[in-house]
């Protein structure tokens, strides 16, 4: 069985699987008015997730990231982790979360086989954190993070979206924090979506400035592994933690694209900023694994070389909670 590939010799070894589009946060760059309920929660079931994991694993996927919305809202999250992790061929299972119930649940996820945790923390100042997310939960999330570190995950990453009016001035605070934290901090450039145009204009900052600051402070760019995605990783001998920059507006960002996305309703998205997903649901429900694989490969042949974010085009993506980032 051949690996999923596109017309530009890119191989896809990484799946981002959304298990719900519901989110309990109101991040001002994503869902400022909170999740708008449309009563149509038709999330992939555990059996459907198992089918998908098998198909992807059979065609070269080695890593699956569970995302949302907020995936922790799913009551069967530990079962999802267990099912994905026990799929032959899947070597790495990760979770992206806003830290909801982290302290209470992280041990269950670890026991279920979770390898990596990505935690979104946009500010280390509790008031700024609340202004961005709508929730006064920074302290409890940091307690959950400490617990996760003690459990011994293979990898813990903390995501912070770079926001000119909110957290840019916290750069030094984040760096000081990293000195003693065994994590990888990821600064992500704010991306324009269908819903956040004005906010984007006011808050987007290029990661290039951050990169220059890191280089002048003695941080060194790490060499990329063969399966590495688009993040640029930096390390410094005086710091326990490392630093990653995700710069989707930089030239050639998409050249190393290695990821596919499935929405919580079973649609395939070959690009985060494409023109809508391809519905695989009925094939998934019939467990028709050969047909699912054929459709994915067929869709991939239409994948473009790059997104058009630089031109202000974000496709059908209103906000990233739809797909999980
Ligand atoms: N609820 C989970 C969380 O908060 O991590 C998973 C879903 S969330 C959409 C995934 C990541 O996308 C988060 O780190 C979030 O900060 C980031 N994100 C959301 N909207 C974004 C945007 N417009 N630009 C850049 N990153 C964004």
pLDDT, tens only, 143-181: 999 999 999 999 999 999 999 999 999 999 999 999 999
113 vs 32, 93, 324, CA distance in Å?
33, 7, 21
From the CA of 163, how far away is ligand 1's center (Å)?
A: 13
Q: How far is residue 157's CA from residue 136's CA, in Å, rounded to a whole number?
A: 21
- Confirm if 259 and 16 have CB atoms less than 8 A apart: yes
From the CA of 190, how far away is ligand 1's center (Å)?
A: 9
As given in the structure block, the two tokens for residue 166 are 């909110």
pTM, two decimals, is: 0.97
Res. 227: pLDDT tops 70: no
Q: How far is residue 62's CA from residue 64's CA, in Å, rounded to a whole number?
A: 7
Out of 120, 190, 318, 324, give the residue to mutate to test ligand 1, the one with the largest number of ligand atoms within 8 Å of its CB. Answer: 120
Q: What is the mean pLDDT of residues 287-304?
A: 97
Q: What is the mean pLDDT of residues 207-223?
A: 96
Q: How far is residue 248's CA from residue 251's CA, in Å, rounded to a whole number?
A: 8
pLDDT range class, residue 123, cuts 50, 70, 90: very high
105 vs 44, 71, 112, CA distance in Å?
22, 12, 11
Residue with CA at minimum distance from ligand 1 atom 25: 190
Residue with CA at minimum distance from ligand 1 atom 11: 325
Q: Could you tell me if the CB of 19 is within 6 A of ligand 1?
A: no
User: Which residues, 6+ apart, have CB-to-CB distance to 141 below 8 Å?
Assistant: 98, 99, 102, 119, 121
| Segment 228-280, tens digit of pLDDT | 778 899 999 999 999 999 999 998 899 999 999 999 999 999 999 999 999 99
Q: Could you tell me if the CB of 98 is within 6 A of ligand 1?
A: yes
Tell which atom from ligand 1 comes closest to the C-alpha of 191: 24
Q: Find the largest Cα–Cα distance for the chain.
A: 56
From the CA of 34, how far away is ligand 1's center (Å)?
A: 14
Query: In this structure, what DSSP letter does residue 133 have?
Result: H
From the CA of 219, how far away is ligand 1's center (Å)?
A: 26
Q: How far is residue 27's CA from residue 137's CA, in Å, rounded to a whole number?
A: 13
Q: What is the mean pLDDT of residues 76-95?
A: 98
| Segment 7-49, tens digit of pLDDT | 999 999 999 999 999 999 999 999 999 998 766 779 999 999 9
As given in the structure block, the two tokens for residue 18 are 């959304």
């Amino acid at each position: 069985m051949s690996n999923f590939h596109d017309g530009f010799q890119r191989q896809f070894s990484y799946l981002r699987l959304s298990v719900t589009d519901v989110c309990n946060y109101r991040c001002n760059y994503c869902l400022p008015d909170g999740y708008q309920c449309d009563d149509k929660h038709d999330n992939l079931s555990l059996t459907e997730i198992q089918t998908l994991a098998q198909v992807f694993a059979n065609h070269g996927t080695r890593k699956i990231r569970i995302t949302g919305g907020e995936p922790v809202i799913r009551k069967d999250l530990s079962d999802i982790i267990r099912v994905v992790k026990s799929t032959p061929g899947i070597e790495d299972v990760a979770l992206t979360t806003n830290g909801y119930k982290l302290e209470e649940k992280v041990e269950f996820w670890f026991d279920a086989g979770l390898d990596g945790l990505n935690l979104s923390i946009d500010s280390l100042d509790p008031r700024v954190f609340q202004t961005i997310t709508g929730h006064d939960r920074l302290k409890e999330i940091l307690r959950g993070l400490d617990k996760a570190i003690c459990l011994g995950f293979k990898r813990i990453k903390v995501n912070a979206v770079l926001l000119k009016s909110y957290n840019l001035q916290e750069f030094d605070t984040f760096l000081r924090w990293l000195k003693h934290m065994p994590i990888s901090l990821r600064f992500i450039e704010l991306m324009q979506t269908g819903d956040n145009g004005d906010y984007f204009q006011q808050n987007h900052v290029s990661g290039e400035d951050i990169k220059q600051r890191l280089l002048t402070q003695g941080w060194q760019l790490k060499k990329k592994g063969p399966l590495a995605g688009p993040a640029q990783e930096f390390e410094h001998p005086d710091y326990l933690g490392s630093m990653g920059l995700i710069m989707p507006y930089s030239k050639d960002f998409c050249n190393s694209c290695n990821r596919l996305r499935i929405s919580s309703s079973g649609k395939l998205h070959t690009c985060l900023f494409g023109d809508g997903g391809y519905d695989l649901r009925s094939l998934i429900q019939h467990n028709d694994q050969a047909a699912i694989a054929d459709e994915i490969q067929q869709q991939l042949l239409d994948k473009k070389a790059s997104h058009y974010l630089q031109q202000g085009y974000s496709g059908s993506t209103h906000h990233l909670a739809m797909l999980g980032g």
